[in-house]
Amino acid sequence: MRIMSLNGWGGKLHEPLTQYLRSEAPEVLCLQEVVSSPASAKDWLIYRDGETVLPQRANFFHDVAAALPDHTAVFCPAAQGVLWDGGTAVPSRWGLATFVHKSLAITGQVQGFVHKAFSPHGYGEHPRSRNAHAVRLYDFENDRPVSIAHMHGLRDLDGKGDTPARTRQARRLVDLVSQVATPGDALVVCGDFNVEPQSETFDILGTLGLMELVTARGFESTRTSHYRKPGRFADYMLVNERVEVLDFSVVTDPEVSDHCPLVLTI
């Protein structure tokens, strides 16, 4: 089974990203920064936040679902705000999504918030609402359950250092995972955590018996050339002792986002 975690950057690099996903078609895709604009038939809209202006795929969630037609797709919105079609505001939901190949049975799942709560009337002030999604799957090929969870950690304008909010975030993630994973499950937790490798987050996740793979295997960055700020880590993949890691990589080529895909084969 291959599990991929990726911050999709709102589909800004749409063509290389969808081509890559069609080609790789991991059994489980954990995707962050996903956009869904049900009222729009446009391909592209614009995100505006102060000096930040980014093109976004208006219905990125549906783009990825179309690229992975053999997967069950679950969208988990964190907020509804607006994107822009010229001077017209378009209601748009933003969050994360999980795509599970139909050969796997989804036997349990839970979504919830690790920071704040659902924001229905705008994306809100930073640090904004952030959520997580966990699924328990039955892997028939290996005759065992596997639990997988991912989150998009809060973005703090002061940086990626530890804060009380990030401590609460990690504890909420542990609580959410514990609602789905059963003792004895192979467990994978991943996502764009928005923390440094030395973060207390990993001590808290360690209470689930999880070990972090990115830095443990010597990778020096999870960002691509499209990311030009300091700090080269944001994305992580953790596993417990019941996961037999056959391969793990931080994919630098092709570049499909300002984040690198993390790909785990178990």
> Domain with 31 in it: what CATH number?
3.60.10.10
Provide the pairing of β-strand 88-101 with 247-250: unpaired
How far is it, in rounded angstroms, from Cα 206 to Cα 201?
8
Q: pTM value?
A: 0.98
Q: Which domain holds residue 120?
A: 2-265
Q: Specify the number of domains making up the chain.
A: 1
How far is it, in rounded angstroms, from Cα 189 to Cα 148?
6
> What is the pLDDT at residue 100?
98
How far is it, in rounded angstroms, from Cα 57 to Cα 9?
9
Residue type, 259: H
| Contacts made by residues 122-126, CB under 8 angstroms, sequence distance 24+ | 122/79, 122/80, 122/81, 122/82, 123/49, 123/79, 123/81, 123/94, 124/79, 124/81, 126/155, 126/156, 126/157
> What is the pLDDT at residue 229?
86
- The tokens describing 84, both together, are 């822009």
> What is the pLDDT at residue 231?
82
> What is the pLDDT at residue 56?
98
Provide the pairing of β-strand 262-265 with 2-7: antiparallel
> What is the pLDDT at residue 187?
98
> What is the pLDDT at residue 230?
84
Nearest Cα to 1, choosing from 98, 70, 104, 73?
104
> What is the pLDDT at residue 127?
95
In the chain (266 residues long), the average pLDDT of successive 10-residue segments reads 98 98 98 97 96 96 98 98 97 98 98 98 96 98 97 95 98 98 97 97 98 97 93 96 98 98 98
